Amino acid sequence: MSMKQTLSKSLLSLAVAGLLFTGASSLVAAPAVAQEEQKASERPTRRTPALRSKVYEQLARAQEQADAGNIAEAVDILDVVQDKASSMNSYELAMMYNFYGFIYYNDEQYDKALENFAKVVAQQPIPESFEMSTLFSLAQLHLMQGNYSQSIEYLERWEALNTGKIPPKNLVIKAQAYYQNKQYAEASEFINQAIKGHEDEGMIPDEGWLILQRAIYYELKQPEKVKDVLVKMVKLFNEPKYWIQLAGMYGELGEEKTQLAIMEAAYQQGYVTNGGDIFNLAQLYYYHKAPYKGARLMEQALNDGVLEKNLRNLKFLGQSWTLAK
C-alpha cells in the first residue's frame, strides 16, 4: 500500500468512520488506523465539549457531497458552518477543519489539507485520540510533501502525548524523514529500533523498511552492514535483484570468492538474465581461473542475443577461450 493510500485510509477513519452518537448530542472520532493499538485507558481522561447534532448534520451533508465527488458543494456547506465559528466549541471547530482537510486531501489540494489539519490540533480541548491521530496524519502528509523537518516535529508532538510503546510505523516515518533530511545517523537509530522491535515480536519486517535501512547504511559508508541487510533480504524475499546486489557488496568488501559463489548461486536459480550481469559473472570466472565457464556463458548469451556482438564482448570471449586452452 502506498503512503497516499495509507494516509487516505487514516484520514477517512478520522473524518467519517467513527461518528458515534451517545443520545443525540455527543460525538467521538475514531482514532486513525495507525493508532488503533493505543488503548484509551492508558491515557488520562481529557474533558472535551460535545459536538451538537445541528453541527454534525451539516458536516454529514458535506461528507455526502464529497463522497459523490461534488467537492465545491462540500466546501460550500463547510463554509456556511464556518460562518458560525464564533458560536462553535473547540471540538466542533476541530471536526469542521478535519472535514475541510479530508476533502482537500482527496482533491489533491495538499497545501490546503495541511493548513486545515494544523487547525484541527490548534483547537483545545479535543479528544486526545483525535489529536494524536491528526498529528500522525500531519506527519505522514508533510513527509509525502517533502517537508521533512515538519514531519519530525509532528511525530515528536505525537510522542509527547503517547503513554505506551511507540509503534514501528511511527519510527519508520521518522527514519524516512531524517534520511530525506540527510541526517543519516538519526535515521539509522529509528529504523533500527523499528526493525528490532518487529523482529523481537517474532514478525518479519516490511521489505521497504529493510530497503531504507540498507540505503541509510550505504550513505553512512558502512558496507559491512549493507551486506548484512542484503543477506537478510535474500533469505526473506529471495528476489533476483537482492542476490545481484549482495554479490556486488561482497566484491566491494574484497571478498571476491564469496562474490563469485553468490553470483553462481543466482545464475543457477535463473536470476542472472541481463547482459550486464552475465558479463560480470563471466569476468568473475575469468579472474578466478575458470575461463572455460566464462567462455561458455558468454557464447550462450551472444547466441541468444542477450549480449551484443560488439568489439568488447567478442574480444573478451576470445580471451576467455584462449585462457581456457
| Domain residue limits, the chain | 1-127, 273-325
Can you read off the three cell numbers belonging to residue 223? 558496507
Q: Concatenate the DSSP letters of all residues of 229-284 into one string.
A: HHHHHHHHH--HHHHHHHHHHHHHTT-HHHHHHHHHHHHHTT---SHHHHHHHHHH
Distances (CA, A) of 166 to 159, 163, 187, 255: 7, 9, 16, 39
Q: Which residues pair with 28 in a beta bridge?
A: 20
Give yes or no for a contact between 321 and 315, defined as CB atoms under 8 angstroms apart.
no
218-266: pLDDT as tens digits: 999 999 999 999 999 999 999 999 999 999 999 999 999 999 999 999 9
Q: What is the average pLDDT across 96-109?
A: 95
Q: Is 199:178 a contact under the CB 8 Å cutoff? A: no
CA distances in angstroms from 324 to 15, 123, 258, 292, 293, listed in the order given: 71, 78, 22, 5, 9
Q: Phi, psi (5° rounding) for residue 277?
A: -70, -40
8 A C-beta contact, residue 17 and residue 154? no
Quick: pLDDT tens for 127-161. 999 999 999 999 999 999 999 999 999 999 999 99
- pLDDT of 23-60, one tens digit each? 222 222 333 433 444 444 455 577 899 999 999 999 99
% of the chain beyond a pLDDT of 70:
86
How distant is the alpha carbon of residue 61 from its chain centre? 33
Of 234, 317, 240, 238, which Cα lies nearest the Cα of 282? Answer: 317
- Taking 3-state DSSP, the helix, strand and coil percentages for the chain, each rounded to the nearest 5, stand at 75, 0, 25
CATH code given to domain 1-127 = 1.25.40
Provide the pLDDT confidence category of residue 3 given band limits of 50, 70 and 90.
low
Cα separation, 198 vs 169, in Å, equals: 10
